[in-house]
Amino acid sequence: MVINENVTRKIIPIAGGKGGVGKTLIAANLAMELARNGKDTIVIDLDLGGSNLHTCLGMKNTGMGIGNFLSSREVMFQDLIQSTPYKNLRFIAGDVLVSGLANIQFSQKKRLLGNILKLKADYILLDLGSGSNFNAIDFFLISNSGFLVTTAQTTSVLNAYGFLKNLAFRFLIRAFNKHEEISKYLRKVIKERKPGSFVTITEVVKKLRAIDLENGKKAEKYMSILKPKLIINMAESPDDLLVIEKLRDLIQSSLVLDVECMGLIYSDDAVTKSLSNHQPFTVREGESIAAKDIERIALKIVQSGRFPDMPLDLNYYKDTFELTQIEAKNDYEEITSLSKSEDEINIGDLLSIISTQKKQINELKGTLRMLTMNRP
Ligand SMILES: Nc1ncnc2c1ncn2[C@@H]1O[C@H](COP(=O)(O)OP(=O)(O)OP(=O)(O)O)[C@@H](O)[C@H]1O
Ligand SMILES: [Mg+2]
């Protein structure tokens, strides 16, 4: 089990319970920003079965990738590392050339993880596939502090919760794999999970304490090691954080997990524009809000001498969520003042803005309802 091995080189897995939330774009552009800050960075496409990181970096998929490595013992992991057009940034491709690896075996996964841990770089970013399957979770657990991307939309938020719940169970199972009685109990809980039934980690820990007080305490200690960090992507307004804060509360009360917030990235046309021009948006649209949001997250990483601990002045901010709230509000003011000065808003535009906002408020209400319903 990995109990923070990220001391000299920091491995940052980037996951998201739901597909299409922006994991790959964030992995590529965050890697770009870390490299731009002078950090030796490697970004790895671990979305096996759906590799497309190269397109976000503006690269052609011609070199060998993870697919070649997993399907041949002759291919050395080191040989997969490709240079990119960007200083300090290297890249390992996924399985576009050799595909069909969406369900890799445990031994292959172990071999892969072992090689990633041996890489030498300041930062190693992993772009993971969507969903809460064992692959995504095991790669995520290479660090105790991976990034989980979500939007404020209901399905994405619920999937983020589902991801962390599976993660918590898997983590406990690994931690207690030598303890027969506890392993048996955990496996039974997982097996008996039915749609609608809701066994929380809080209840599991309580039960473990009842089986054996010392191990119950140990379970709580293990859980406190995990510090996943949320990134909210494609945000429309600072209010999107309200849902995410509800999510945090639910995670704390049901999963005994402390999550932190790395930051919020606004939905921005510059992202789509840069994609059609095959360049990272932090390069092509450096002045855009989304690029600034990514840059801010990169700075939080770089400025933290003890990352994954966050550089936070607790005299000013209560926690990482409050800091993100302030950043999001400042950005929003910039976005709205820009749009006012760029073109005069006519009555038609105004009506369409109001109707979009109404839709968002309804969506927000729906998500808050779902989260409250899920509360045990
Ligand atoms: N901040 C943003 N602003 C605008 N559009 C965005 C933003 N982030 C992501 N997108 C859009 O979402 C799409 C999906 O992004 P991306 O491929 O990074 O998601 P993903 O989570 O990696 O998806 P998958 O689950 O398929 O791997 C992009 O093609 C882009 O159009
Ligand atoms: Mg992706």
Residues with CB under 6 A from ligand 1: 16, 19-25, 47, 50, 130, 233-234, 265, 267-268, 271-272, 275, 290
Residue 154's nearest CA partner among 86, 68, 225, 244 is 244
In sequence order, which ranges of 154-239 are alpha helices (DSSP H)? Answer: 154-175, 180-191, 201-211, 213-225
Q: Which domains does the chain have, with CATH numbers?
A: 4-160+226-311 (3.40.50.300)
pTM of structure: 0.88
Quick one: pLDDT at residue 315?
66
Quick one: pLDDT at residue 4?
45
According to DSSP, the residues that pair with 91 across neighbouring strands are 43, 82
Which residues crowd ion ligand 2, with CB under 5 Å?
A: 23-24, 47
- Is pLDDT at 343 greater than 60 in this prediction? no
Percentage helix, strand, coil for the chain under 3-state DSSP, each rounded to 5: 55, 10, 35
Tell me: the pLDDT tens digits for 128-159? Answer: 998 878 889 999 999 989 999 999 999 999 99
Tell me: the pLDDT tens digits for 270-295? Answer: 988 888 777 888 787 778 999 999 99
Tell me: the pLDDT tens digits for 42-67? Answer: 999 999 888 899 999 989 888 899 98
Report the nearest atom of ligand 1 relative to the CA of 16: 21
In sequence order, which ranges of 126-179 are alpha helices (DSSP H)? Answer: 134-140, 154-175
**If you take atom 10 of ligand 1, which residue's CA is the nearest one?**
22
Greatest mean pLDDT range, 106-110, 217-221, 247-251: 247-251
Listing DSSP states for 280-343 in one string gives -HHHHTTTSHHHHHHHHHHHHHHH-TTTTS----TTT-SSHHHHHHHHHHHHHHHHHHHHHHHS
Report the nearest atom of ligand 1 relative to the CA of 28: 18
Cα of 236 to ligand 2 centre, how many Å?
Answer: 21
Dihedral Cα 356, 362, 363, 366, nearest 10 deg:
180
pLDDT-based confidence at residue 316 (cuts at 50, 70, 90)? confident
Tell me: the pLDDT tens digits for 66-95? Answer: 989 998 889 999 999 999 999 999 999 997
Cα of 314 to ligand 1 centre, how many Å?
Answer: 33
Would you put residue 157 in left (φ > 0), alpha (ψ -120 to 50) or beta?
Answer: alpha
Cα of 129 to ligand 2 centre, how many Å?
Answer: 6
